[in-house]
Amino acid sequence: MDFSKSMAVAASGMRAQTDRMKTIAENIANANSTSPVKGADPYRRKIATIKPDFNRDLDATLVSAGKPIPDRSDFRSQYDPGNPNADKQGYVKLPNVDSLVEIMDMRAAQRSYEADLSVMESTKQMLAKTVDLLK
């Protein structure tokens, strides 16, 4: 494999995982928020997507972050009759974000990022050794 091709593939993966981590961080930041308007829905969890992109110049498939899609699972509810967003029964709708799931997704994205970084480091070392051999 061409050194520039492997670097480009790894870099595209790192960019995609960075965007994935941003989406996950947004979910975590809004995990306990309520709607700013009484009766409206709270924050809806977003699911990060990654899409393949074929690059003709490199003759390789790269990846990029796709548009996050909304998670259509049910919202959580919590009994809090003193909350201004509470319904007649005293329940408040909370986002459909599970912090444990988000942390696990963040860890998976981090590991993928680290794997891509390892590919870049290995490619850099091979390139340096190739240059040394040509001296």
Is 21 or 39 the better-scoring residue by pLDDT? 21
Instruction: Assign 1 to helix, strand or coil.
Output: coil
Could you tell me if residue 76 is inside a domain? no
Could you tell me if residue 11 is inside a domain? yes
HSE of 105, CA atoms in CB hemisphere, 13 A: 23
Tell whether the model's pLDDT for residue 29 goes beyond 60: yes
Could you tell me if residue 19 is inside a domain? yes
Q: How many domains does the chain have?
A: 1
Q: How confident is the model at residue 1 (pLDDT cuts 50, 70, 90)?
A: low
Write the DSSP assignment of 40-66 as a string of letters: S-----EE--EEEEEETTTTEEEEEE-
Instruction: Assign 76 to helix, strand or coil.
Output: strand
Could you tell me if residue 21 is inside a domain? yes
**pLDDT given for residue 39 in this prediction:** 82
Could you tell me if residue 125 is inside a domain? yes
Q: What is the pTM of this model?
A: 0.87
Could you tell me if residue 53 is inside a domain? yes
Could you tell me if residue 88 is inside a domain? no
38-94 residue pLDDT tens: 889 999 999 999 999 999 999 999 999 999 999 999 999 999 999 999 999 999 999
Query: Is the CB of residue 123 less than 8 Å from the CB of residue 7?
Result: yes
Domain that holds residue 116: 3-34+44-71+99-134
Could you tell me if residue 10 is inside a domain? yes
